[in-house]
Structure formats: C-alpha cells, structure tokens
Structure 1
Amino acid sequence: MNIALLGYGKMGKAIEQIALKRGHTIVIKADIDSVYNIKDADVAIDFSIPSVAFSNISTCLNNGVPVVSGTTGWLQDYDKAVALCHEKKGGFISASNFSLGVNIFFELNKNLAKMMSTLKQYHVDLEEIHHTQKLDAPSGTAISLANGIIENHPDYDKWILDSKADNAVPIVAKRIENVPGTHTVRYESDIDFIEMKHHAHNREGFALGAVIAAEWLVGKTGVFTMNDVLNIG
C-alpha cells in the first residue's frame, strides 16, 4: 500500500515507522507548502495542523484518494468534508484519537455515563494532560469523552474548559513536557469516587491505529469512524 503522510512531525514519523514495519511504502511526506501529487498514493493519513487539515482532506477527496485524519481543532469544517466525501464517493475517517485502547475507553465512558445517569449524588469531572507542543485545548479526545457523557447522561448538555457551570462537563487541560496523553473521567460523591483513566506510554498506539484504519479504508466508500474499523459500539 502506498501511503501519503500529510504532516511529517512527530506523529507522522511514528506512523512512518509502523507503516514500514507492516510492509507499506511511504510515497509522500508533506509539510506545510510541500508540493506533491496525491494521486501517487493509495491512501493518505493526515496528522497536520488545524489550519491546513481541511485543505489536505479536500485535496484527497477531490482526487479519489481515501483519507484518514487524526488532526484535531478543525472540526468547524467537518460537515463540509462529509459532504465532499459523499459528493465524490470517496472514503473518509476522522477520529480524535486512533489508539485502539482509547476507542475502547470511549465505549466504556459511554456505558459508565448511562449507569451513573440516575445517581444524582455523583458529579463528573474530566482531565486531560498532553505535551507542551499540543496546539489545541481541550484535546479532541477530551471533547469526544465529554460528548459521550452528554449523549448518555441527562444532567449534562455541554462541556466547559477550566471552569464549572450547571449542566456542563468540566474539563481541565494540562500541558506538561513529554506526556503523550492521559485522560481521566471521574465521578465523585460525598462518600466515594469512581475513576477511569487511559494513559499512553508513547505515540506508537496512536500511529498503529491510524495505519490499521488506513488499511481498512482502502477500497471502501463512505464516512466511517474507528467503531467501524474495530467493529465495536
């Protein structure tokens, strides 16, 4: 499989190593302002930056190249990407986190929210910790976790960053050197607390999931999620 890496930072380099180990070829390594022919690729993996993600995705879909995007912070244009994918009969996966473990964590989070929804004595808090180079806050993963709670718990209808408000899932975002990613969901009452945590040791899990998603997407038409790739949820 010929892969285009759109974004060749730390994640792009980690994806490259995993892809090579799995027998694939990297035909494009693109950063901002790189010139390339996307048609050289069977599939593209976008881990760029928010300001160019939609342009990268559009280029792929307009040229018949399926694209997997792990960039966060650009989702104001997500509906446009979905519409373009359907118009061009392309293949598209966008995920806030491609880690296999995190996607299982997402489902556990939804199920826990359902179980806690009738226990009014518990309130929820969400914390995310990432490396200092991460550009967006809260993380896309934290937003996905918050939305999973909102969809399954009637007491919450929005999330809020670094603050508290009625009916809001509070998210605390911390930036600490050399932390790949830690996410914690905590329900606390006056007598006890229940806590779920996912801690990434390194970027390899995110990279592996992105490559697995790209392998799965080739030859398919439509807009998919990691639940489709992993057949969960």
Structure 2
Amino acid sequence: MVAKPAAGGGRWADVEPRRLRRWLDGFYSRHDGAEEEGLKLVAANGDTAELLPPPGVGPVADVDALLEALAKPRRLGLLLARRNAVAVGVADGDELISSKVDTFYVQGRTAAGGWSQQRYARRRENQASGAARDAADIAARILLPYADSMAALVCGGDRGTVDEILTDRRLAPLLPLRHDRLLDVPEPRHAVLVDAVTTAHAVRIHLVP
C-alpha cells in the first residue's frame, strides 16, 4: 500500500477490497480502543481513517455494510485519455471483457512566434479536436453496449480531454454513471488500463495524521 499526501492534510491510501479486512485488523492492532463512526475509524490518540466506497458501490452506513457490498462483483467502464492517446475498457470484477487502446498525432508546442505560432496553435487545436472525436468513436463502440449493466464509469488522465470526449452526444447515457474520482494515470496504454481496473476497485482511505 502506497500512501500519498492529501490536499488539506493527511494522506490517501488505496486498499484492494480483498486486503481490506487485513488492513482494518492492522489499524485496530495499532490503535487499541479505536471506534467506528459510520465509515470513519477514530483512535483514542486522535488518529482517524475514513473509508470511501469505490466506484459502483452505493451508499453504505458502516464498515460491515461496506465489506458486504465489496463482496458483490461490479461491472465498471473505464475511459483513460490524454491529448494523444485513449484507453477504453469494460471490466467485470478484475477482468477486462472489452477494451481498445489507440494513439493520435497531436503536434507539440513550437517555439516559433508571431503568425507562425498562431498557425501552429490552430493546427494543434484542430488535431486535438479530431483526436477527441476519434476517442469518442472508440468510447461509443466499447462502452455503450454495456451502459445498462455498468455500475459506474471511471475516468482518468487529463480532465479537459476526458470532458471533451464526453461532450459527444452519443455518450450521453454514460454521464450519469461517471464517478467523481479522476484517476492519475500516465499516457494510456493497455498495461495502464489493466492497472486502472485494480485502482478503480480500490477503497480509498483518508488517513489523519
């Protein structure tokens, strides 16, 4: 488990569902007398651990309800995108049952100035818009057939690019399924998509201190 700093203080930790019981046992063993307040664990010394249900898990009242919900398999859609690449998949549990990865040419920034800079900027914007349209084609082909059975859509990469892809009218059925969390991923590749399946299923825990 790798913990990362959280905005506003504390740390974020991602724990795989199958390891959560062990993680909880470890927290209780390190904090004798810790108590549960809904999904928050509160230790006598002031340390806290707040559990956030992963995408596709509905509202749960306490830790026991969360553990019960995690035992049920969920189907997730994934859309990972940056300006020049996209990875789209559908996962049943940890298994990808449909996926597509593609790359696009989007010109990098240029040091040229004046009219040339404007011309290159327009060309770059046109290329990025074309890449977003192509990515939307892929998303429609991979995700829409499963829209009625997906518990959530998990996105990752560059938020602006993802948002632009999802403006495609065909993808409107996916918008209510989109989860708030945006996965931090490198340039989308198949291996990145596979790793994202595991990350999307993980329970996020906000640890303080």
Instruction: Give me the TM-score of the superposition, normalised by structure 1.
Output: 0.29
Higher strand share: 2
Instruction: Give me the TM-score of the superposition, normalised by structure 2.
Output: 0.31
Larger RCO, structure (CA 8 Å, separation 6 or more): 2
